[in-house]
A and B are shown apart, each in its own frame.
Chain A
Amino acid sequence: MFACIYIPNFPVAAVLRVEPELRPRAIAIFEGSPPLEKICAVNEKSGRFGIAPGMTKAQAELCPEIVLRSGSALQESSAHAALLDSAQSFSPCVEDTACDTALLDLAGMESLLGSASEISRAIAHRISAFGLDANVAIAANPDAALIAARGFPGVTVILPHETADRLGPLPIAVLFADRLEGEERRAADQTLATLDRWGIRRLSALAALPQIALSERLGQEGLHLQRLALGSASRTLVPVEEPLIFEEAIELEDPVMLLEPLAFLLNRLLEQLCARLAARARSTQELRLTLGLELPQQSKFIRTLRLPLPMLDARTFLKLLQLDLNAHPPGAPIVKIHLAAEPARMRSAQGGLFLPPSPEPEKLELTLARIAGMVGEHKVGAIELLDTHHPEGFRMDRFAPGLPLKKPATEMSPPRENAVTALRRFRPPLHAEVTLENGQPVHLACRKEMRGDVLWRAGPWRFSGDWWEHDAWSRDEWDVALQNHALHNGESLALYRLVRDLLNGAWFVEGTYD
């Protein structure tokens, strides 16, 4: 059993997929370079206004009700990818017959998906969820399904014994694809003209012709066409493993200058992208947003959103993109939006009643993005210590507690018997004036609460490093105790780390032991 998904009037369908509000209107698609732009596809409503393929754009513009759109290879590519994604969700064996046609092998799928009519309805429902209007037909062989999808609108199921009778009333033109070009188009037109001269206009008439006479006049091609008309042609599908590319794009007639309408368009693209990913049981860990700007010409604004874990939530993605664009606005009106998602396996997590609490990845990502907008992008995250003796030898890393640890838990330091005395740093370190006696600090003057005689001192401890780099460093460290003037009674001591930069001789209070 084979199914065929056929999208009639594919260029128009590709446009309507990204602009569904144009469905009630009369639409015409033009292609070519000005001033020789010609209409290549129209919908039914345009046909009633007398607009037909082959007319020039200028002729079509005379009709005020017509909505003109230029053909977009990117939109057609996205629509084609959506067609394949929906087909792949029903069968692992899918043939990419044409940009507007996909054939599925449904052998063995009845026990999984139901009867032929149920499967055909499910396919139609799935393809419409992607914003495409398609004809779906199921027949005993691929070519019969293909011809039925081209000829009958909506959902069609043809039983094996009634193939010839059901296909009989269809016009001869359904034997040939819509979008043939060059030599194939000329050969098809010639054959159609010949059959028309003979008075053969239906498949039933072609099927009734004598085989020998037909082969004498049209050769093997004629016999092949007769087998197609009878629904007896048999062939195997050629499944094509498409690379998993998930991209959506839209070109705008009027430039978008505000972020709110841009968010509306992004939401539409994200929903389509997430639906396609879900159909392939995939999620994404990286989103690339490319905005085509009006000025300067052909310039692009690219933002990449990298996620700590694979996710598939259009609302979360939209929020993250909005926060990112608020922090990094494009700076010019937008004329084109292109969104690409890098597919990744869906994450699976085994829950448990006794596991410690952990934040939800989607909520956490939004929270971190909001906090980064407040304090700065590099001021929030986890800490990674660097292999250096430099006192500020660390860098900020992405906070992703769900990812596997770089160092196993068994290698972590065991709990200590006593608490470890901690240092609090001043960033930047505080400049100080130090009085020395026999090379040792005896008086310190820094802030109001950090001045006085040094009551106790230890040191110096010398550190240096990176002498082979431009930013070499060398310092002496002292631990000093002063009277704690912050207290009214001043009965306690305050311990500070005092540092002398040996390269320039300056003194700093680097931190306090607390």
Chain B
Amino acid sequence: MSSAVVSTSAASSRLFVFDDAPVGAPVHNAPVEPAPAEKMRFLQSALAHSQSSISQPRISPASVTPASRLAIRPAPEMASSGIPALDALTGGLPRGCLTEICGPVSSGRTTVFLAALAAATRRGECCVLVDASDALDPRSAADAGVDLHRLLWVRCGEGSPRKNNSPQSHRVTEQKKTTQGNASRASEHRLEQVLRATDLLLESGGFGLIVLDLAHLPPQDARRVPLTTWFRFRRAIEHTPTVLLAIEQQPIAGSCSSLQLQLGAQVSEQAMPRESSSRRETAAHARLLTGLQITVELACSRLERKPARSATFPTQTAWAAG
């Protein structure tokens, strides 16, 4: 075993152990692990040496707590996501933690978070949807079973063309042809609104589920959210019963999220929307979109170490469910 040098940082009184192998010496590809008793003897001598060389309060080996006796952070309480297959895969959505749900268009992200909202409102919890792109369809939410009375909808964006959403003419306006710069600035503005609104809501507290819908934001814009922001969000909900759910195209929260789910659109033939007609008419008017097959992959879980697994579950359209 190569000798080790123990150095003490005077500023922080921390011990650093360096491998003191001479320059040019062959590097051992497979380091030899010393016996535990030898390790303890070495540690004690190193501590005694550091205390004698620097005038510091003596640290007794007895005050060093072995790692085996350190307190383990309790596992967070799990809340049902409203989808049995998803609950079986992950155990539910962890409270006091950030969960990311990622996937491309038509991968089932909106279906999953609406099911989670429905389950939360059914439990009597107040929920928030911070909608970066103002994309929520209230009818879909109602069909999914969301109690709209308990859902707070924050519609971020440039500004609605009409204040009251009562039925008006369906002659919608032409899409504005904006330059790439204008679109980018609009996206930045929405993101700023989302982050500030989320800060205020987390500070207010009392919500069971907060959903940040960033699904329509381009990944390059969503990645502009600094990790410190996600860390701040995570710290704000720690030790609270709030579930924070982020919906994106790609994971952006890094190590701040405790659970990452990747939704995927199927490639196989089964991915094609199921046809309700048994005669397999080719005419479009005889076809009906009855549902999708959603695949969920547990991309990352910091709650417990388990191999990545996946689950598949069907969804039904509102008109097919009856």
Give the interface of A toward B (CB within 8 A). 355-360, 363-364, 366-368, 370-371, 374-386, 388, 390-396, 399, 401, 405-406, 412-416, 418-431, 440, 449, 456-460, 465-466, 470-475, 478-479, 481, 484, 486-487, 491-495, 501, 503-504, 506, 508, 511-514
Contacts and interface: CB of A to CB of B under 8 A. Distances in A.
A430 B315 contact: no
Contacts of B316: 416, 418-421
Contacts of A470: 169
B52 interface: no
Interface of B: 82-83, 104-112, 114-115, 118-119, 122-126, 133-145, 147-157, 159-161, 163-175, 193, 196-197, 200-201, 203-208, 215-216, 240-242, 249, 264-267, 271-273, 284-285, 287-289, 291-292, 294, 313-318, 321
A93 B45 CA distance: 87
B160 to A, nearest CB: 6
Contact of B137 (A360, A405, A412, A423): A423
Given A380-B153, A501-B171, A356 B124 contact: yes
B120 to A, nearest CB: 9
A395 B168 CA distance: 12
A512 B149 contact: no
A439 B242 CA distance: 50
Per DSSP, are chain B's interface residues mostly helix, strand or loop, or mixed? loop
Contacts of B119: 415
Contacts of B174: 431
A481 B206 CA distance: 41
Given A385-B142, A423-B137, A472-B169, A380 B321 contact: no
Given A420-B318, A484-B106, A492-B266, 4 more contacts: A356-B125, A416-B321, A422-B114, A458-B284
A511 B137 contact: yes
Contacts of B139: 385, 391, 393-394, 423
A483 B105 CA distance: 10
B315 to A, nearest CB: 5
Contact of A513 (B147, B203, B292): B292
A420 B317 contact: yes
B207 A359 contact: yes
Contacts of B167: 386, 388, 390, 392-393, 465-466, 471, 473
B106 A371 contact: no
Contacts of A367: 200-201, 203-204
A421 B122 CA distance: 19
Nearest to B125: A356
Given A419-B313, A422-B137, A495 B204 contact: no
Contacts of A415: 82, 118-119, 122, 145
Given A375-B193, A418-B316, A364 B206 contact: yes
Given A386-B166, A388-B167, A374 B197 contact: yes
A470 B284 CA distance: 33
Contacts of A457: 284, 287
